[in-house]
Structures are given as structure tokens and as C-alpha cells.
Amino acid sequence: MRNDSESNQALESALLDIVAEEAMVDRAILTPEAQLENLDIASADFVMILMAIEENFGIYISVDNELADLKTVQDLLTLATKKITDDDSSEDKAE
């Protein structure tokens, strides 16, 4: 069984793969400290990234509220990971 750190690393890696694929950027430039505005990701591509994350992980990310403060790749990873793990936790409690 994986520990939480390994699970989070795998999750973040999967999220970065989605970002790279949907934004058509080199995965190597998606470092945690990379500024989102410097990655040349068009707003339409960013919407596609969010839709892919939502579809793959069954979560919802509010474009208006939750994305306003995102500055770095790590900010995006933190938000998505929190949404995914919170959703998993609530499903576990419901069962």
C-alpha cells in the first residue's frame, strides 16, 4: 500500500500529464514554481485543462472563484489535489 506522499506524487504527476497534453506544452517546463502566465497557455486551453481534470477525477473547479488566485503550477496542483482528495474522503465517509 502506498503512503500519502507517494499517492500525492502520483496524483500530481497525472495532473501534470493532463496539463502538458491539454495545453500542448513540454512537460519538462511544468515545474512547481513556474508562473502560469509565463507558460503561454491560452485561456481556451486552460479551460480544456480544467475540463480534463474534472472529467478524469470527477471533481468541479469553479473558474470564477477558485482560479483567480492561482499564480504557479504548484498552486494549480495544490487546488486540484485538495479537491480530489477531499472528494475521495467524502465518498469514503458516505460508504
What domains, with CATH codes, occur in the chain?
4-94 (1.10.1200.10)
Q: Is 35 helix (H, G, I), strand (E, B) or coil?
A: strand
- Report how far residue 81's alpha carbon sits from residue 84's, in angstroms, rounded to the nearest whole number: 5
Q: pLDDT tens digits for 13-48?
A: 999 999 999 999 999 999 999 999 999 888 889 889
pTM of the model: 0.84
Q: What is the pLDDT, as a whole number, of residue 78?
A: 94
Within the chain, residue ranges assigned H as helices are 4-23, 43-57, 73-94
Provide the residue type at 88 as one letter.
D
Instruction: Inform me whether the pLDDT recorded for 90 exceeds 90.
Output: no
As beta bridge partners, residue 22 has none
> What does the radius of gyration of the chain's CA atoms come to, in whole angstroms?
13
